[in-house]
Every structure is written in structure tokens, then in C-alpha cells.
Structure 1
Amino acid sequence: MHQIDDDRADAWFHALSDRTRRDILRRVLTGEQSVSSLARNYSMSLTAVQKHVAVLEGAGLITKRRRGRESLACGDADALRSVSDLLTELEAERREHIARIDELLAAEADPAPAPPPHRKD
């Protein structure tokens, strides 16, 4: 398992915590789009969409480039795979933790039989 630094993970989860940002990410994973064309999909200002794109870019989930006056956004599938790997790693840790708790509860509910009493001859 590889280790992801906490700051990177925090940025990913912050970026993905917003419904609009998740939708923007879905759209740009299918292909590069201009930020202005993305903005037409939402009932918010271009500036608001630009801020969402900036959060996604800051988290490393999308890349941006300029083409003339246009700002083009493209999803980074490798970064999304890293997010998926982190979630898989966290899930495995939780499952191990839950399995250990289950073992302890089972041992407590079904204690080992007491040793036979000591006989004095």
C-alpha cells in the first residue's frame, strides 16, 4: 500500500465534498471543456464556476490550460485512481478494525471454559 500525504487527501475530500464540483469533474473526465461552456450548465455565475474549477485544480483532480482567451479544463484520471486507491486502503483498515472488534466481542460472549477444579488426593 502506498501512503498519501494528509494534505493531499484533505484537498481531495474537500474538492469532492461539493455536488457541483463532482459534476464538473464528471464532465471534464469525458473530455476537455472550456470553463465558460461548463458554466452554462449551472445556475451560477462564471466566477463561481471558476472558483469550483480552481478547487478541483488545486486538489490535482483536473488540469487547466489556456487556448487564446479560453481556459480549458480536463480531468486527471490518474489522480482519480489515486483517490480510489486511498478509499480502498481506508476501507481495508476499517474492515480489519471491525473484524478485530468482532473477535473481541465473540471471545467475551463465549469465554473459554474454566479449568477443572484441582483435586486433592
Structure 2
Amino acid sequence: MFRQLATILHVLLQQSEEAGGAFVFDPVPQLDETRTDEPGIVQSLGAAFLIALAGPDHPAAERANRLLDEMAASSKWAAIAGFYQEGIELIRQELATVCEREPGFGDCLRGLAEWVA
């Protein structure tokens, strides 16, 4: 089910002609690995989280995951980057749990993913 969520977020978080009217926000301009100021790093980590949620097909997914990994290994940013990484895994687990508990939810998520793709 995470793949379906990623498909939906990929469309909502990537400005393109294919997205049509579904585009909401492009976090890529906020993903700047060169920032050294605290607000800029926090902004980049937030963008990396959103892009990582949009899945491996997002054009900036590799950059986003690399930034999260690098910052998770730093003493100063480990807690924040780790929080985002753990959040991604918890979302995966929650989707699986909800789909087991409510089979109709998975069908709705699949249908929405197909519709936006």
C-alpha cells in the first residue's frame, strides 16, 4: 500500500504537465544539501521527508534519501533526520495495519493512485 501512497504523493508533490490540476507543492526547491544555516537545514530535511514519502520514482528521491542518511549520521541532526526516517517506516506499518483491518481502505487507496497516475 505504501507504493500507492507514494504514487499519490508523487503526483501532488511534483510540478509537471502530467499532474494537471493535482499539483499541490513542489518541495524540490527547498531540498538544498549545501545549506549550512540551521533554518535552511531544517527546511531541507522537511523537503527530503516529503520527497522520500513520494517514493523512489520521484526525480529527487535519491538526493532526499541521501540527505536523510547523512544527517542521521551527524551528531547535531541525528534526532531530526532519524525522526523523519522513522516516520516513513511508521507510515508504511500503519498503512499495512489499516489495510488488514479495513480491506476497503486498500481498494480506495489503489483506486486513487490509479486515478491520479
| TM-score over 0.5 (shorter chain) | no
Which is greater in Rg?
Answer: 1
> What TM-score do you get using the length of structure 2 for normalisation?
0.32
Task: Pick 1 or 2: higher relative contact order, CA cutoff 8 A, min separation 6.
Answer: 2
TM-score (norm 1): 0.31
